[in-house]
């Protein structure tokens, strides 16, 4: 039997260990690797080409939503299952649009994650049994907060590279450090930085950081 090759991306070691221990009980799975940062996850997934990536949303260096977008851009055949603590995420539409194949909550039994990996590896979709309630809460919040700047609107306002720069700035990286991480010039980073400020209507990195926290791009 051909094994389902799995890659795990989560910034908490205890979560990665828990997933590995659970999948280790099933001979059908093979763990190819793991990462605690989004950018490292993208790099390793590109090299290892797993069948399924188990992806957290909130990770340092690059969040799970944008990491998923990058993975799907270079290999649309890799299936991504979001494994998250956010049961009421306002970025659910962004996750769906990024191309995820599954969505499981960390509060769910681990058997849900196992089943999700099995299903998406066959080209199917799998969402936690809580999904209808999550969707209901999302659309209700959209109706109640109409007119306010919601996370999804902010995501759509910024390009993928601008969101990368926003997260790295919010995490305390200097322009030269970001340039090195992204393989671009400091001038290009400065351009993205000011584009972010202009599009979001702010004038400082402190204000950008507040937005990044609201968007759950970084944890505090």
Q: Are 165 and 196 in contact (CB under 8 A)?
A: yes
- DSSP code for 2: P
Write down the domain spans for the chain: 4-138, 158-214
pLDDT in tens, 16-54: 999 999 999 999 999 999 999 999 999 999 999 999 999
Say if residue 148's pLDDT is above 50.
Answer: no
Q: State residue 215's pLDDT score.
A: 75
Say if residue 96's pLDDT is above 70.
Answer: yes
Half-sphere exposure of 5 (CA within 13 A, CB side): 10
Confidence of residue 118 (pLDDT cuts 50, 70, 90): very high
Look at domain 4-138 and name its CATH class: alpha beta
The mean pLDDT of 54-63, rounded to a whole number, is: 92
Shared fold status for 4-138 and 158-214: no
Q: State residue 44's pLDDT score.
A: 97
Q: State residue 187's pLDDT score.
A: 94
pLDDT in tens, 126-147: 988 766 665 555 556 555 555 4
pLDDT in tens, 164-215: 999 999 888 999 999 998 999 999 999 999 999 998 888 888 888 888 887 7
pTM: 0.75
Interacting residues of 73 by C-beta distance below 8 A, sequence separation 6+: none
Q: Which helix (H) or strand (E) holds 160?
A: helix 160-170
155-181 burial, b at 16+ Cβ within 10 Å, e below that, comes to: beebeeebbbbbbbbbbebebeebbeb
Say if residue 149's pLDDT is above 90.
Answer: no
Ordered DSSP codes for 20-79? HHHHTT-TTEEEEEEESSHHHHHHHHHHH--SEEEE-SS-SSS-HHHHHHHHHHH-TTSE
CA gap 33, 61 in Å, rounded? 18
Greater confidence (220 vs 6) lies with: 6
Q: Which helix (H) or strand (E) holds 196?
A: helix 186-200
**Residue 135, token pair as written in the block:** 């969707």
Say if residue 124's pLDDT is above 70.
Answer: yes
Cα torsion angle, 13, 175, 167, 41, sign: negative
State the CATH architecture for 158-214: Orthogonal Bundle (1.10)
Judging by beta carbons within 10 Å of its beta carbon (0-12, 13-18, 19+), is residue 51 exposed, middle or buried? buried
- DSSP code for 185: -
Say if residue 151's pLDDT is above 70.
Answer: no
Q: State residue 201's pLDDT score.
A: 87
**Residue 46, token pair as written in the block:** 């590109």
Cα torsion angle, 156, 160, 165, 171, sign: positive
């Amino acid at each position: 039997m051909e094994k389902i090759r799995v890659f795990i991306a989560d910034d908490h070691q205890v979560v990665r260990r828990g997933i590995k221990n659970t999948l280790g009980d099933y001979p059908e799975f093979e763990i190819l690797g793991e990462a605690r940062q989004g950018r490292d996850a993208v790099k390793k997934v590109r090299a290892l080409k797993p069948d399924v990536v188990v992806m957290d949303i909130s990770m340092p260096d690059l969040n799970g939503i944008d990491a998923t977008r990058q993975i799907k851009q270079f290999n649309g055949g890799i299936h991504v299952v979001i494994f998250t603590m956010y049961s009421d995420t306002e970025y659910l539409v962004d996750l769906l649009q990024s191309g995820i194949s599954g969505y499981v909550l960390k509060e769910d039994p681990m058997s849900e994650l196992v089943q999700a990996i099995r299903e998406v590896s066959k080209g199917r979709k799998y969402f936690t049994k809580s999904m209808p309630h999550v969707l209901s809460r999302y659309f209700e919040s959209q109706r109640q907060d109409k007119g306010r700047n919601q996370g999804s609107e902010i995501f759509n306002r910024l390009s993928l590279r601008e969101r990368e720069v926003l997260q790295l700035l919010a995490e305390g990286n200097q322009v030269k450090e970001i340039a090195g991480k992204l393989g671009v010039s400091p001038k290009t980073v400065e351009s993205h930085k000011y584009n972010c400020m202009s599009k979001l209507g702010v004038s400082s990195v402190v204000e950008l950081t507040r937005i990044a926290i609201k968007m759950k791009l970084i944890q505090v």
